[in-house]
Structure 1
Amino acid sequence: MQDYQKRLSLNVLAYAVQKNTDPAQLCHLSGIELDTLKSESSPSLTVQQINALWLNATELSKDSFFGLHFGESLQVAALGVVGELIRHSQTIGEALTQAAAFSHLITDLLTMSVNRCGQSFTIQFIPSAENQASSPLVFRQMMDFFMAFTLHEVDGLILQKIRPISVRMPVELADLPEYIRVLRCQSIQNATDYALEFDSRFWDELILTADYELQAVLLRKVSALDEAHTTKTSLSERINNFLLANAYLGVPTLDAIAANLNVSSRSLQRKLQEEGVTYQQLTDSIRKSLALHYLQTGQHPVKEVSYILGYNELSAFNRAFRRWTGTTPVSYQKGQLL
């Protein structure tokens, strides 16, 4: 399945480069390998890596409106098959409805809701509470991006600059002129929610690239991707993948991993029990794999490996390693370096 979040991250990187940002430095600061980002077969980026990418792109580009300007410049083709489905919808209303239905394939940050009422229709951007609290700066940049991107891509579908009737979003008075320019709306209300309101006459506007037969094919393809995306792997596998992907951050506590998965610690323990495994067993397996890897490379002394894996005392690491392998970390490392 195509990784749309990674695809969007690649476009973040490409836009940052246009703003005279060094891609190698940006990836390094964000804990991302550039080759990994470009490879479709590599693991998905973690939430931390995506957030770091946006944060560092904003800082290195020296553009406090990075997300807003990125949304203004990105083309719908960057969304792959989802973008193609939008382009080949029959009308603006249909395209926006499709975009809202599959927005979760693009981002975990928000969901979209499209509502038509009387003389207008409204696109609401509903943020995830978890992401909103994680990093206010990153959150603002990403919300700015999605609002600007949605508005400017509608233009490309009908070759007409559409102006919203009103915009609702949190905005500082000093920033208002730039939001007015990019969002093309004088009526920007400082609010706690995020919404674009349009005249209803645009709802049935025909899209220039509309192709009903191709749309049907694309819709089947996107629906299949959506089904694959929402099919849950086992909880233990998801945790194992998360721990491996975030190995550079150390091994988190049960409470920390539960918070990341948006469940209670007790619920997490119960679900793992149902799969016949404990969190301790999962972390032990990860620690063993990482310990063997770090010791085999010979680049880290035993004490440093112990610290990386979250052991407060070297003696505790020694006991765990002997339990895993029947020997001590020092003896194992010496044997690997002979």
Structure 2
Amino acid sequence: MQDYQKRLALNLMAYAVQKDIQLEQLGSLAGIDLIEVKNEASPPLTTKQINDLWLNATELSHDPLFGLHFGESMQVAALGIVGELIRHSRTIGEALTHAATFAHLITDVLTMDVNSSGQSFAIRFIPGVNSQEKSPLVFRQMMDFFMAFTLHEVDGLILKKIQPTTVRIPVETSALPEYERVLRCLSIQNATDYMMEFDSRYWDEPILTADYELQAVLLRKVSAMDEAYSKTKLLSERINNFLLANAYLGLPTLDSIASNLNVSSRSLQRKLQEEGVTYQQLSDSTRKSLALHYLESGQYPVKEVSYILGYNELSAFNRAFRRWTGTTPVSYQKGQLSPL
């Protein structure tokens, strides 16, 4: 049986690398042997180790909203078998119901309740017994994480960005703009409970069959390269990592990347310039790689490929593809599919 809490911890450490945290230092502070924890046969992590991992990752990242940003970046595929079950559900409602059912396998900090009625449905995140009192900071980081992750996992299931109609969460005024950005809601209510409400039209939204095989390959590649990234420290490589893992939802803006990495947009541009690359070049390279794959597979019409890669107009995708290859997407696809 998979150890889902350990899997989440490993993904947290992978994200810590993107935040420029030394894994050796993080592991030492949390009392975790990095080699041993990667071994599936090793003992489960203790509650203290998990709490120390969250506490020190938050402190070393200098990001008080570490959990929120971690949830924004993580993909449902990272949950292993549970993620596969969620991803292969028939509708959003079914997927969220599965997620609520198996939340206890991933954490004992909270449970999830999903309720659909009338014109809306709500997801409530219910604190576990004494979880808030035991470690308030860890509790808050994990609640932020699961709220952001749940919202963004739905994106990956239907290939569109949905917006809650209402969010209830304890939030300080200074942090409100970032919660509004990540949770995509301008109706955030400062409350003592944790809840997201959505329009009922999303409940029966069918889960689309995208190229998840490609995504799995890319995510495995990202995981395998984490150690190399921790040594090279190249910002462009860490951003490329993030873009590959999220590209099927349309590439995020430079401002979104900067917020996720806890730096200003201007500082991010300057650091990339020092490495001899621009964000536009990185995003173009990712789009080109995925466009070629989708067209070569023969499973997607050009218009759908354009939409998946985040182009609002087919003409914009055509211009970009001609710039990359010297030909049009239609001509390229026909050439790939023509019999020898």
Q: TM (normalized to structure 2)?
A: 0.61
Alignment of 1:202-221 (within 5 A): 202-209=202-209
CA distance in 2, matches of 1:11, 1:209: 25
Alignment partners' CA distance in 1, 2:3 and 2:55: 21
Deviation track 1:130-164 (CA, whole Å, cap 9, x = no partner) reads: 22111111111110000000001101111111000
Structure 1 segments unaligned to the other structure (5+ residues): 211-338
Q: In the alignment, is residue 105 of structure 1 matched against residue 105 of structure 2? A: yes
**SS at structure 2 position matched to 1:177:** helix
Name 2:186's counterpart in structure 1: 186
Q: Distance in 2 between matches of 1:113 and 1:154?
A: 16
Tell me, in whole angstroms, the C-alpha distance in 1 between the residues paired with 2:139 and 2:112.
16
Instruction: Give the equivalent residue in structure 1 for 2:58.
Output: 58
Kindly indicate whether residue 114 of structure 2 is the aligned counterpart of residue 96 of structure 1. Answer: no
Instruction: Tell whether the 8 Å contact from 1:87 to 1:209 is kept in structure 2 after alignment.
Output: no
C-alpha distance in 1 between matches for 2:185 and 2:20 = 29
The answer to whether the aligner puts 1:142 opposite 2:133 as a matched pair is no
Return the letter of the residue paired with 1:164: P
Give runs of aligned pairs for residues 238-257 of structure 1, distance below 5 A.
none
Are residues 1:71 and 2:71 paired?
Answer: yes
Q: How many angstroms apart in 2 are the aligned matches of 1:24 and 1:125?
A: 33
Query: Residue 15 of structure 1 corresponds to which residue in structure 2?
Result: 15
Residues 137-176 of structure 1: pairs in structure 2 closer than 5 A: 137-176=137-176
Q: What amino acid is the match of 1:104?
A: H
Report whether the alignment pairs 1:115 with 2:115: yes
Q: Aligned pairs, how many? A: 210
> 2:72 corresponds to which letter in structure 1?
E
Structure 2, unpaired ranges of 5+? 211-340
Structure 2 distance, partners of 1:156, 1:43, is: 32
Q: How far does residue 36 in structure 1 lie from its aligned partner after superposition?
A: 1.9
Q: Partners of 1:57 and 1:37 in 2: how far apart? A: 17
In the alignment, the residues of structure 2 paired with residue 103 and residue 85 of structure 1 have an alpha-carbon distance, to the nearest angstrom, of 12
Residue identity in the other structure for 1:174: S
Offset at residue 170 of structure 1 (A) = 0.7
Matched, 1:199 2:199: yes
Q: Could you report, residue by residue, the CA deviation over 1:70-105 in whole angstroms, capped at 9, with x for unpaired residues?
A: 000000000000000001000000000011011111
Structure 2 distance, partners of 1:15, 1:63, is: 13
In 1: Cα distance, 2:199 partner to 2:132 partner = 30
Residue type of the partner of 2:65?
F
Q: Contact between 1:71 and 1:144, CA under 8 Å: does it hold in 2?
A: yes
Please tell me whether Structure 1 or Structure 2 has the larger radius of gyration of its CA atoms: 1
In the superposition, the TM-score normalised over structure 1's length comes to 0.61
> What is the correspondence of 1:319-338 to structure 2 with a 5 Å cutoff?
none
Q: Give the superposed CA RMSD.
A: 0.9
Q: Does 1:42 align with 2:42?
A: yes
CA distance in 2, matches of 1:181, 1:132: 25
Shift of 1:129: 3.0
How far apart, CA to CA, are the structure 1 residues paired with 2:37 and 2:186? Answer: 39
Structure 1 distance, partners of 2:176, 2:111, is: 25
